[in-house]
Amino acid sequence: MAGSGKFFVGGNWKCNGTKDSISKLVTELNAATLEPDVDVVVAPPFIYIDQVKNSLTDRIEVSAQNVWIGKGGAYTGEISAEQLVDIGCQWVILGHSERRHIIGEDDQFIGKKAAYALSQNVKVIACIGELLEEREAGKTFDVCFKQMKAFADSITNWADVVIAYEPVWAIGTGKVATPEQAQEVHAAVRDWLKTNVSPEVASSIRIIYGGSVNAANCAELAKKEDIDGFLVGGASLKGPDFATIINSVTSKKVAA
């Protein structure tokens, strides 16, 4: 049972870019020929969101890489969901492994962030995934389900949520989960949603894969039934490569 939503590809630019390099990337993206039936979102650093929003084709939506847990106020260094809405930013990435494991955000904190963002009509790319030692200890499902539970405890409406499964051992390492490994986790997460949220959410939600996705490996991954798209890191900084990944939706159609 695959997700029934449109194929979804997000580009997480992380802490990369300058006004000049982003201007060049936006020019490449504006010129790219993209398959129509794919939702495409890019996530620039906060300080460039306005530049991207004002120069990028409307075909591609804009996401933040993080957001504060509640309404704005005396929170030095934070950005609120209200501010994202104000500049026309429609999405936010939450629970990315770099926020969890480098910055130390915990499951509950991330879940509450997701609920608040959704309450302000900011859509959420909710990230989950296990560390290498967790995979080697056979705990992949336990970890992913625990992270999913924290989202499920806070989220009531899943219509504006995309789940990104990103095995931490595959992010930026060049190690990619095999299509079979990714499919196995995607199917298990969908099954978890069916049992713990609802069969409707399980069948409609998009579960995308992240972790060293590139122009060379995306087609094989896209063929898998429960892989509904990608969250792309490094390769999203290269316009032509990102376009190739977006257009891998054609492999999905062939497989279907």
DSSP state string for 189-256: HHHHHHHHT-HHHHHH-EEEEESS--TTTHHHHHTSTT--EEEESGGGGSHHHHHHHHTTHHHHHHH-
Cβ(69)–Cβ(81) below 8 Å: no
168 closest CA partner among 156, 177, 159, 157: 177
Q: Please give the DSSP secondary-structure letter assigned to residue 44.
A: -
Cβ(190)–Cβ(158) below 8 Å: no
101 is known as an active-site residue: no
**Number of Cβ atoms within 10 Å of the Cβ of 87:** 14
Cβ(93)–Cβ(63) below 8 Å: yes
Q: Provide CB contacts within 8 A for 201, sequence distance 6+.
A: 158, 193
Q: Which residue among 61, 96, 105, 186 is the active-site one?
A: 96
Q: Which two tokens stand for residue 102?
A: 């480098």
Q: Which two tokens stand for residue 116?
A: 């608040």
Q: Which residue among 61, 130, 134, 166 is the active-site one?
A: 166
Q: How far apart are the first and last CA of the chain?
A: 12
Residues involved in catalysis? 96, 166
